[in-house]
Amino acid sequence: MLTIKNLQAKIGEKQILNGINLEVKPGEVHAIMGPNGSGKSTLASVLAGREEYEVTGGEVSFEGKDLLEMAPEDRAREGVFLAFQYPVEIPGVSTINFMKTAVNQIRGYRGQPTLDAVSFLGLMKEKMKLVEIDQALLNRALNEGFSGGEKKRNEIFQMAMLEPKLAILDETDSGLDIDALKIVSNGVNKLRNKSNAVIVVTHYQRLLDYIVPDFVHVLYKGKIVKSGTKELALELEAKGYDWIKEEVSVL
Amino acid sequence: MSKDNQVLEELTSKEYEHGWTTDIETDSAPKGLNEDIIRFISAKKNEPAWLLEWRMKAYQQWTKMKEPTWANVKFPEINYQDVIYYSAPKQKVTPKNLEDVDPELIKTFEKLGISLTEQKRLTGIAVDAVIDSVSVATTFKETLGELGIIFCSFSEAVQKHPDLVKKYMGSVVPVNDNYFSALNSAVFTDGSFCYIPKGVRCPMELSTYFRINAANTGQFERTLIVADEGSYVSYLEGCTAPQRDENQLHAAVVEIYAMKDATVKYSTVQNWYPGNKEGKGGIYNFVTKRGLCYGDSSKISWTQVETGSAITWKYPSCILRGDNSMGEFYSVAVTNNYQQADTGTKMIHIGKNTKSRIVSKGISAGHSQNSYRGQVHIMKRAEGARNFSQCDSLLMGDQCGAHTFPYIDVENNTARIEHEATTSKIGEDQIFYCLQRGIDEESAVALIVNGYAKEVLNQLPMEFAVEAQKLLALTLEGSVG
Ligand SMILES: Nc1ncnc2c1ncn2[C@@H]1O[C@H](COP(=O)(O)OP(=O)(O)O)[C@@H](O)[C@H]1O
Ligand SMILES: [Mg+2]
């Protein structure tokens, strides 16, 4: 589904990604871990098409298409979804209105007819149940005055609405208490199937107890320096990142 | 050049939609302004002597006045002798009803999305359609007449209801109030008149649609709305003009008179031609709008969506004379390219426990300048007066300007006044968030801007709100900052 080859990117004069290789197949869950500032969010942003980041080398193909050539909105319409680490506020625009616009633009891109109000509402009710979110929240201005947990839950609600092929969750667990964490993970698990894939970016292994990854990668200084299975996450939890840093400096 | 600026440079804002002209024969006065021209206008309209006298006095006063210079707008000197003060579409007969109206004119309004013939069936909005200097048609007259509501062109009101016109014209905006009101009083050619009798709730929206068509012509219309005790009316005003390289002058006067317990809601969607991307052409919109809450517990509410004009100079105001009376001003003013807007309101509290509310949302893009100018005056007698003002500015890009000039005068220390102001920018972050959900950039800007202006748009009647939303999006198309 997603093939990243030797991806390099910089912002301003600062080189952040230094040759990333990653292969994600349908049905898989990949966890990307790593210390603060290692480039996890940058990788997510580059995949989503944020223009501040300049790709300086490498290639990314998504479902056989050159992802880096696509406009950000087209990447979304092709099925790439990013749950933001810091979702922004949009005053005066409700989540419902926002999602109605998004769903219909994506449908238009795919040559499907616009959803009428009744069908949209039906879809929404179904997804609300899935991620256990209250309609009152969806009527409010997007992310305005939301608690950290509400913002993250709202991101997962949007993911449910848009049914992406590839979802990238950037630290969706940070700022969540244990109950919220369970609800969010539950939602993600329910959305998983054989034909979609998830990349979870996280700091902590506790999320991975709920969203169980097939692969765990450690990102450090803009490179994947170690890959393994979920046991690697446990090892990181026990030993911290220092041993990895040492390994890298030896190389 | 930063990316922001690049996007701005690419500013391919969609061309003004209503820039076409109608090819109709017109009956015009020669260019220029003098007593003869005023006599010409008055004669054309077959006016009574008192009105000609009124005009002459206004003209005398105007010649002694100076164009105001305090507004935050710049434009080359206007040559008032280079303007045509009267231009009317030539009609073979004076239309008594719609069947007599020139089909070309009906087509003109249809092109603007205003169907005069189908109006009755489709929308339930009564329309007075004004082209250049004269009203060409008013719909729904009979239905309204049954309730005693008078809704007609100003010229017709002069003929048929001279007592009402004589009594209320100039009672809210005196002739010499300002330079442009004096000019208008001398040369006004038509407009709308509306009277709602005691205790009547007007069952439909009343609306005037203004269209400037002829070249080199100024439009000087007057609207007078009188709401008798306990009545209610919601009034809409729309306007467009052809795309022309020279600037055209529009100097209107709107007066609202509300008696005891009466409520008047006045909504405007102003879409005059704004000039091209380099700032050439466009309408100079110098308008005096004022409402008098004469009776106790009366209420006047102004809502305006200002998207057009090269220059906007406009301060819809309320004089809160009656005790417990209330004034509201809700405004969205958008400027793009080289547009300049200096707009706001005045709330004059005279009566006890009078209340006013001001919500102003400015949006500036391109090289435009957008100013809010507001005055809240609490007079000595206004025991327990209250005002709330919220003035927000949204900037798109870094070539434009937003300015706020609030003036507050309080002569009674029981007054409570709250003023809030914010300035923000449409963030890259917000746009990217939308893009990442599959929403294209244009729609993203429209979504964000409409969200920002929501509180004001919510005040508009339904059909108008939708039109206004589209208009906001259109005005800002391409101008992401
Ligand atoms: N807009 C930016 N300007 C300058 N440096 C940035 C910017 N965004 C990220 N960085 C830098 O890039 C590095 C990687 O950041 P990020 O991808 O957010 O890391 P992570 O998500 O792994 O914590 C950090 O050193 C950060 O300071
Ligand atoms: Mg991060």
Residue corresponding to tokens 């000019």: B183
CATH numbers and ranges of domains, chain A: 2-250 (3.40.50.300)
- Smallest Cβ–Cβ distance between B451 and the set A90, A105, A109 belongs to A90
Per-residue pLDDT tens digits for B221-248: 899 999 999 999 998 887 665 666 677 7
Band (pLDDT 50/70/90 cuts) for residue B4 is very low
**Which whole number is the average pLDDT over B17-26?**
63
Domain span at residue B36 reads 2-476
Cα A34 to averaged position of ligand 2 atoms, centre (Å):
10
Are B441 and A90 inside 8 Å of each other by CB? no
How far is CA A43 from each of CA A39, A162, B362, B382, rounded to the nearest angstrom? 6, 21, 37, 62
List all residues whose CB is within 6 A of at least one atom of ligand 1.
A 11-12, 14, 16, 34, 36-42
User: What number of other Cβ atoms are within 10 A of residue B445's Cβ?
Assistant: 25
Q: What is the pTM of this model?
A: 0.83
Structure ipTM: 0.96
Residue whose CA is at the smallest distance from ligand 1 atom 26: A37
Atom of ligand 1 nearest to the CA of A85: 21
| A chain contacts of residue B480, beta-carbon cutoff 8 Å | none
**Which whole number is the average pLDDT over B452-467?**
82
Residues 6+ apart with CB under 8 A from B68: B178, B179
Per-residue pLDDT tens digits for B264-297: 999 988 887 778 888 788 888 889 999 999 999 9
**Above 50 in pLDDT, residue B329?**
yes
Higher confidence at residue B21 or residue B253? B253
Name the closest residue on chain B to residue A142, using Cα atoms: B451
How much is the pLDDT for A174?
A: 85
How much is the pLDDT for B120?
A: 43
How much is the pLDDT for B22?
A: 63
Band (pLDDT 50/70/90 cuts) for residue B94 is low
Touching B: A residues 139-158, CB under 8 Å: 141, 158
**Which whole number is the average pLDDT over A175-180?**
86
**Above 70 in pLDDT, residue B23?**
no
With pLDDT > 90 as the criterion, what percentage of chain B qualifies? 46
How much is the pLDDT for A4?
A: 97
Domain presence at residue B210: yes
Name the token pair of B283: 């309408």
- Smallest Cβ–Cβ distance between A102 and the set B439, B448, B450 belongs to B439
Least confident residue range of B66-70, B103-107, B432-436 = B103-107
| B chain contacts of residue A92, beta-carbon cutoff 8 Å | 450-455
Q: Does residue A12 sit at the B interface (CB-CB below 8 Å)?
A: no
| B chain contacts of residue A85, beta-carbon cutoff 8 Å | none
* Ligand number with the minimum distance to the CA of A18: 1
Q: How many CB pairs under 8 A join A and B?
A: 73
Band (pLDDT 50/70/90 cuts) for residue B53 is very high
Task: Say which DSSP state B30 is in.
Answer: P
Given 3-state DSSP classes, what are the helix, strand and coil percentages for chain B, each rounded to the nearest 5?
A: 25, 35, 40
**Which whole number is the average pLDDT over A153-165?**
96
Residue corresponding to tokens 């400037």: B212
As residues whose CB is below 5 A from the ion ligand 2, the structure lists: A 40-41, 85
**Which whole number is the average pLDDT over B322-340?**
93
DSSP E strand stretches across chain A: 2-11, 14-24, 29-33, 53-62, 65-66, 80-83, 90-94, 141-142, 166-170, 197-201, 215-220, 223-228
Band (pLDDT 50/70/90 cuts) for residue B121 is very low
Task: Say which DSSP state A195 is in.
Answer: T
Distance from CA of B86 to the nearest CA of A (A): 45
Distance from CA of B472 to the nearest CA of A (A): 15
Band (pLDDT 50/70/90 cuts) for residue B9 is very low
The total number of structural domains that make up chain B: 1
| A chain contacts of residue B427, beta-carbon cutoff 8 Å | 88
Name the token pair of B455: 């509180």
Cα B53 to averaged position of ligand 1 atoms, centre (Å):
75
With pLDDT > 70 as the criterion, what percentage of chain B qualifies? 80
Band (pLDDT 50/70/90 cuts) for residue B15 is low
**Which whole number is the average pLDDT over B193-215?**
84
How much is the pLDDT for B345?
A: 95
Higher confidence at residue B119 or residue B202? B202
Domain presence at residue B31: yes
Distance from CA of A165 to the nearest CA of B (A): 13
Q: What is the mean pLDDT of chain B?
A: 84
Mutate to test the pocket of ligand 1, among A7, A8, A11, A46 (most ligand atoms within 8 A of CB): A11
Cα A38 to averaged position of ligand 1 atoms, centre (Å):
8
CA distance B75 to A122: 55
Are B439 and A105 inside 8 Å of each other by CB? yes
At residue B171, φ and ψ (nearest 5 deg) are -80, -20
Domain presence at residue B185: yes
Residues 6+ apart with CB under 8 A from B426: B394, B395, B396, B445, B448, B449, B480, B481
Least confident residue range of A127-131, A212-216, B202-206, B392-396 = B202-206
Name the token pair of B421: 């102001």
Per-residue pLDDT tens digits for A34-79: 988 999 999 999 999 999 999 999 999 999 999 999 999 999 999 9
Residue corresponding to tokens 């007593």: B35
Cα A36 to averaged position of ligand 2 atoms, centre (Å):
7
Name the closest residue on chain A to residue B440, using Cα atoms: A73
Name the closest residue on chain B to residue A94, using Cα atoms: B451
How far is CA A172 from each of CA A16, A41, A43, A159, B55, rounded to the nearest angstrom? 22, 12, 15, 12, 71
CA distance A73 to A67: 11
Q: Does residue A53 sit at the B interface (CB-CB below 8 Å)?
A: no
How much is the pLDDT for B118?
A: 46
- Smallest Cβ–Cβ distance between A98 and the set B432, B440, B447 belongs to B447
Domain presence at residue B447: yes
Are B430 and A90 inside 8 Å of each other by CB? yes
Domain presence at residue B399: yes
Least confident residue range of B209-213, B307-311, B405-409, B463-467 = B209-213
Per DSSP bridges, beta strands B125-131 and B150-153 are unpaired
Q: Which residues lie across from A3 on neighbouring strands?
A: A23, A61
Domain presence at residue B481: no
**Above 50 in pLDDT, residue B1?**
no
Least confident residue range of A142-146, B102-106, B112-116, B321-325 = B112-116
Domain presence at residue B207: yes
Atom of ligand 1 nearest to the CA of A34: 22
* Ligand number with the minimum distance to the CA of A172: 2
At residue A96, φ and ψ (nearest 5 deg) are -60, -50
How much is the pLDDT for A251?
A: 60
**Burial (0-12, 13-18, 19+ Cβ within 10 Å), B457:** buried
Per-residue pLDDT tens digits for B148-188: 999 988 988 999 999 999 999 999 999 999 999 999 999 99
Q: Does residue A96 sit at the B interface (CB-CB below 8 Å)?
A: no
Are A88 and B429 inside 8 Å of each other by CB? yes
CA distance B250 to A76: 47
Domain presence at residue B74: yes
Band (pLDDT 50/70/90 cuts) for residue B212 is low
Exposure string of B271-303, with b = 16+ CB inside 10 Å and e = fewer, is bbbbbbeebebbbbbbbbbbbbbbbbbbbbbbb
**Above 60 in pLDDT, residue B95?**
no
**Which whole number is the average pLDDT over A93-115?**
95
Helix (H/G/I), strand (E/B), else coil: B147: coil
- Smallest Cβ–Cβ distance between A101 and the set B441, B443, B453 belongs to B443
